[in-house]
Amino acid sequence: MNSDKDLRKIELNRVYHSDCIELMKSMDENYVDLTVTSPPYDELRNYNGYQFDFEGIAKNLFRITKRGGVLVWVVGDKIKNGDRSLTCFKQALFFQTVGFKVHDVMIYKKKNTPFMRTNAYTNCYEFMFVLSKGSPKTFNPLKVKTARQGQEMLPFNKGADGINKKILGELKPEKTKTNIWEYATGLHGTTSDRIAFKHPAVFPEKLAEDHILSWTNPGEVVFDPMCGSGTTCKMALKNNRFYLGCDISTEYVELTKKRLEVLSPKLFTQ
């Protein structure tokens, strides 16, 4: 593999061509505030036959995550001979053994999924394991509009007479989102960057952005060790966070750079 040779000094706002384990070995401990990443799922896609050392990746991710930092692991699993591999659960359990807390198990629901199985319901989701090193140091809850707004007669304290009193009150205009997040996929859903689809497994920009806004503040470090088309890096840059990207494939590193160049040409003219 013809990878980036100089991993001795890691720079932020860069995309590295490397095996992510090698890159993480060069990173200081407690370096990253948030990782949003998606690994190759089982052998669902063959990324030019590259090896995938999950346990090595998990251990290194724990080491480079700051105390209170978060790792979002977006993953599905394959079905072989009618049997789901459950690799994603095995991975989640392994993350616990290396020290992560399973802070939440969230669902990424896809709005438009093709019908795929004749003897089971169409799968329309992947897991987003939200793993933290200790308790998350940042949580900026995303809000959604409530169904009803304005004023309404609301139940008040029940008195000794047992009668439910009602009082005119203001309905809350918004509430915190649930942990099932739904996104449209495909062009203009996942992203409007046509070139991104040169990669076979892009996750939605909004998914990456929603995690970045939830678990970090501006100026913090967002990492994607297997960045593919560069979705996490792009959304970190757009939201004034530092990004750090890495992919084992030259083709995908170049793809990520192209997507980022449009946003911040100055970073690429040095």
Binding site for ligand SAM (CB under 6 A): 19-20, 38-40, 47, 50, 52, 199, 201-203, 225-226, 228-229, 231, 246-249, 252
Q: Which of 152/251 has CB closer to ligand SAM?
A: 251
Name the minimum Å distance from CB 246 to ligand SAM: 5
Q: Which of 221/235 has CB closer to ligand SAM?
A: 235
Give me the residue whose beta carbon is nearest to ligand SAM: 228
At residue 263, the 3 state secondary structure works out as helix
Name the minimum Å distance from CB 163 to ligand SAM: 57
The values of phi and psi at residue 52, to 5°, are -130, 105
Distance CA 24, CA 100 (A): 17
Enumerate residues 6+ apart whose C-beta is below 8 A from 173: 145, 146, 149
Q: Which of 33/193 has CB closer to ligand SAM?
A: 193
**Could you tell me which residues are beta bridge partners of residue 175?**
144
Distance CA 50, CA 52 (A): 6
Q: Which of 62/157 has CB closer to ligand SAM?
A: 62
Name the minimum Å distance from CB 252 to ligand SAM: 5
Nearest Cα neighbor of 18 from 32, 34, 1 is: 1
Distance CA 260, CA 258 (A): 5
Name the minimum Å distance from CB 94 to ligand SAM: 16
